[in-house]
Amino acid sequence: MTRTKPLGSAALGERELIWMMALLMACQAFSIDAMLPALDEMGRALGATGNDRQFVIGIYLLAAGVGALWPGAMADRFGRRPILFVCLAIYIGLSLACAMVEDYKTLLILRFAQGFGSAGIAALPPAIIRDRVGGDRMARLMSLIFVIFLLVPAIAPSIGQAILIFGDWRLIFVAMAALGVVMTLWIWARLPESLHEEMRQPILPRTIFWNMVSAVTLRETIGYTLGSALVFGGLFGFINSSQQLIGEAFGAGDMFPMIFAFCAGSMALANWSNSRIVERFGARRVSHTALFVFIAVAGAQLYFASQPDESLWTFVPLMALNMSLLGFVGANFGSIAMQPFLAIAGAASSAQTFLRMTTGSVLGAYIGYAYDGTARPLAAALLVTAIISLAFVLFSERGELFGEKMPDEA
């Protein structure tokens, strides 16, 4: 089988691959979380008020989900590298365009275009990993990728706040473009083509359509795709409303970057822990256990949120704990869902990312917009989505949880 060789003389090792894929996906996270501290200033400058300020986050998430449909099919035909370069070029160009807008409507249009056109930076890394490994080993690698990936949302609000000290919110978009340039140069120099030559798929709309349909309708995997979409919809709801929730409901706006970092850091720590145990116990056993605990913690969140005097010191630990439990759910659910689709990994990753991101972003936008000055809407949403997620997993597993480990071969 032939692969496109990078310029670097030494082969790309597993550790560098993990860092590269994590930071590539982090471009998308940075474009969301770095601007959270700037929402007030951006809203004043462009005429957006109240919960409408959240749209600059929600519309990007929605567009990234819808846009995930195109890069996988193209990458199954032309290879992973060329499509990544197209996505990165769009990401860089539209970041600079966003930095120059003069009204909020134009910003939303550009953010939608950016999320749609650059969707491959998040949709293709799972396909690249699936090209190399499968099963519980893929779950381990994806967990390690998420450890690094989650460091970005942990520190991005602080970076955004630091940028605001030296300039206005427009510089955040310039920083996004700079990150995109760095990733483009690194991938160009070091990432070999991972698509096996004999697995290249023709550009036949009917074939692409049915490949994608199979990736999101197979009973063994659909419950995991929809299940992760629901629980991450709750997470997106927190991200959308976090600045208002922490700053307004709990009066801790100055502590927002630190609190957000604590919550995101808990997810990173959980993903690291998952990478250490998943090959021993299996992705199913680990993720199913985490989902049950998530439901219990979400119930506790709803109880405290329903009290008239809920404090920041009950909200933050419980939110961080549930975000850490998502670290045991996300990578494992995604790996289980990708396991049967080695031959169409690009299309499968795109279709599953589309379903996961569109469902999660719409749900997250609804949850965020339901913010009423308390944590009750968020807590209720976390509990309900987790219970429905469990029902979907039961459907895929035909009522039997904590199953056997998956084979690791590609």
Closest by CA to 144, choosing from 160, 158, 125, is 125
Mean pLDDT computed over 390-410: 81
104-115: b (≥16 Cβ within 10 Å) or e: beebbebbbbbb
Report the percentage of the chain scoring pLDDT > 90: 34
pLDDT tens, 24-37? 988 988 988 888 88
| Ordered alpha helix ranges (H), 34-169 | 39-46, 55-67, 69-78, 80-98, 104-117, 120-132, 135-149, 151-166
The whole-model pTM stands at: 0.72
Tokens of 358: 């569109």
pLDDT over 70 (residue 408): no
Q: Phi/psi of residue 401, each to 5°?
A: -100, 175
Q: Specify burial of residue 308 (Cβ count, 10 A radius: 0-12, 13-18, 19+).
A: exposed
Q: How confident is the model at residue 16 (pLDDT cuts 50, 70, 90)?
A: very high
Average pLDDT of the residues of the chain: 86
DSSP 3-state assignment of 203? coil
Domains, the chain, with CATH or none:
14-190+206-396 (1.20.1250.20)
Integer-rounded Cα radius of gyration of the chain? 20
Q: How confident is the model at residue 107 (pLDDT cuts 50, 70, 90)?
A: very high
Q: How many CB atoms lie within 10 A of CB 102?
A: 8
Which has more confidence, 121 or 58?
Answer: 121
Predicted pLDDT of residue 6: 56
pLDDT tens, 346-360? 788 888 888 888 888
pLDDT tens, 277-328? 888 888 899 999 999 999 999 999 999 999 988 888 899 999 999 999 988 8
pLDDT tens, 190-206? 999 888 887 777 777 88
Q: How confident is the model at residue 174 (pLDDT cuts 50, 70, 90)?
A: very high
Interatomic CA distance for residues 48 and 103, integer angstroms: 9
Interatomic CA distance for residues 33 and 150, integer angstroms: 11
pLDDT tens, 46-95? 888 777 777 888 889 889 888 888 888 888 889 999 999 999 999 999 99
**Rounded to whole angstroms, what are the CA distances from 378 to 52, 275, 324, 325?**
17, 29, 17, 16
Closest by CA to 272, choosing from 152, 149, 143, 153, is 143
Local structure of residue 38 (DSSP, 8 states): G
| Ordered alpha helix ranges (H), 133-204 | 135-149, 151-166, 170-190
Counted residue by residue, the chain has a size of 410
